């Protein structure tokens, strides 16, 4: 109980004004901005370690913990690039990384693409990302400050999002998919990693039902982790005029369980032309080159 209470206190001090904006507290932004250049990277890593999102495991020796977690983020995001993202990226691609966190994957992609827009909701984490994962063609933007407006409509070839949507309230999903639709070029692709309903995972409604003090504190200050059905995502995508293409089990795509997302799923969607009646006209969909796809009508898991 005391441990949970202390955790809630810590979250209270690092979260910004809006829900789930970890590391967006004013003191964190001021601290990073005022840290001398030569200590900025170390400060950024220490700040990232305060969030429930990025660094995990034993914290016995602070320095080795930070180095180990920095290297783990780098290595796991390199594998996500190699096994999932790389086949969709060319040197001409304009890419959006939605929920980029510290920007490890965004920087790797920026090394292979023309331009990457990396979006998140916390200025604190975006400042850390700029510090440790800077690149000239990589632009970090805050969604909650409407900085996505700086991206031209119909200009993005690929949008991907890893380890993000399970942390997002259902009422925000439609707006996110509308943003994807607005920014994508025609035939542009979306790859979103999701957590489907499964043992050990609660839906948002189940979280909200817990009206105990701990339950309320967890919902307000803790990290949200929600599961949803395939039809939830396919309906929301199609309401935002994005064609659901397929869903794959990530364990069928990734070489070994190097990250939590190994047990999760990847949905592909595409912005296709739409006729006057609102139907997708081009049924010659670009091939979905991940193994073992499941169609929205024949989904295997919880529908």
Ligand X SMILES: C[S@@+](CC[C@H](N)C(=O)[O-])C[C@H]1O[C@@H](n2cnc3c(N)ncnc32)[C@H](O)[C@@H]1O
From the centroid of its chain, how far is CA 15?
18
Integer-rounded Cα Rg, in Å, for the chain is 19
Inter-residue contact 203 to 228 (CB < 8 Å): yes
Two tokens at 119? 């979006």
Supply 285's token pair: 């969909």
Q: What is the 8-class DSSP label of residue 66?
A: H
- In terms of CB distance, is 123 or 157 closer to ligand X? 123
Residue 40 or 72: which CB sits closer to ligand X? 72
Give the shortest CB-102-to-ligand X separation in angstroms. 7
Instruction: Please say which residue, 99 or 293, places its beta carbon nearer to ligand X.
Output: 99
* Residue labelled with tokens 């920014």: 183
What is the distance between the alpha carbons of residues 161 and 266, in angstroms, rounded to a whole number? Answer: 10
Are 170 and 147 spatial neighbours (Cβ–Cβ below 8 Å)? no
In the complex, the smallest distance separating the C-beta of residue 186 from ligand X, rounded to whole angstroms, is 24
84 or 272: CB nearest ligand X: 84
Q: How many residues does the chain have?
A: 303
Closer to ligand X at the Cβ: 218 or 299? 218
d(CA 122, CA 135): 19
Q: Smallest gap, in angstroms, from Cβ of residue 188 to ligand X? A: 19
Binding footprint of ligand X on the chain (CB under 6 A): 20, 53, 77, 98-101, 104-105, 119-122, 125, 143, 162-164, 167-168, 172
Please say which residue, 145 or 209, places its beta carbon nearer to ligand X.
145
Q: d(Cα 182, Cα 119) in Å, to the nearest integer?
A: 15
Least distance to ligand X from the beta carbon of 105, Å?
6
Farthest-apart Cα atoms in the chain, separation: 62
Query: Which residue number has the CB closest to ligand X?
Result: 101
CB of 172 to ligand X, least distance (A): 5
Distance of closest approach, residue 275 Cβ to ligand X, in angstroms: 31
CA 108 to the chain's CA centroid: 15
Query: Minimum CB separation from ligand X for residue 143, in Å?
Result: 5
Q: Distance between CA atoms of 173 and 266, rounded to whole angstroms?
A: 16
* 8 A C-beta contact, residue 198 and residue 230: no
- Pick between residue 77 and residue 290 the one whose CB is nearest to ligand X: 77
């Amino acid at each position: 109980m005391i441990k949970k209470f202390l955790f809630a206190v810590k979250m209270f001090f690092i979260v910004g004004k809006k829900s789930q904006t970890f590391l967006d507290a004013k003191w964190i932004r001021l601290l990073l901005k005022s840290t001398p250049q030569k200590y900025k990277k170390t400060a950024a890593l220490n700040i990232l370690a305060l969030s429930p999102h990025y660094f995990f495991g034993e914290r016995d020796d602070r320095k080795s913990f930070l180095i180990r977690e920095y290297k783990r983020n780098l290595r796991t995001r390199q594998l996500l690039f190699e096994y999932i993202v790389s086949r969709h990226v060319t040197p001409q691609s304009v890419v959006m990384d939605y929920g980029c966190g510290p920007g490890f994957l965004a920087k790797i992609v920026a090394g292979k693409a023309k331009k990457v827009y990396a979006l998140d909701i916390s200025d604190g984490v975006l400042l850390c990302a700029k510090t440790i994962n800077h690149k000239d063609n990589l632009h970090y933007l805050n969604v909650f400050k409407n900085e996505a407006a700086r991206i031209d409509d119909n200009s993005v070839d690929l949008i991907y999002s890893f380890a993000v949507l399970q942390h997002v309230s259902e009422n925000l999903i439609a707006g996110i998919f509308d943003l994807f639709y607005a920014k994508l070029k025609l035939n542009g692709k979306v790859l979103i990693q999701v957590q489907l309903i499964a043992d050990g995972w609660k839906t948002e409604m189940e979280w909200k039902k817990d009206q105990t003090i701990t339950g309320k504190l967890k919902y307000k200050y803790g990290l949200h982790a929600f599961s949803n059905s395939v039809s939830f995502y396919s309906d929301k995508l199609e309401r935002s005029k994005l064609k659901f293409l397929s869903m794959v089990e990530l364990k069928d795509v990734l070489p070994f369980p190097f990250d939590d997302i190994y047990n999760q799923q990847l949905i592909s969607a595409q912005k296709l032309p739409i006729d006057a009646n609102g139907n997708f006209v081009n049924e010659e969909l670009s091939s979905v080159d991940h193994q073992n796809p499941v169609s929205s009508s024949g989904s295997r898991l919880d529908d």
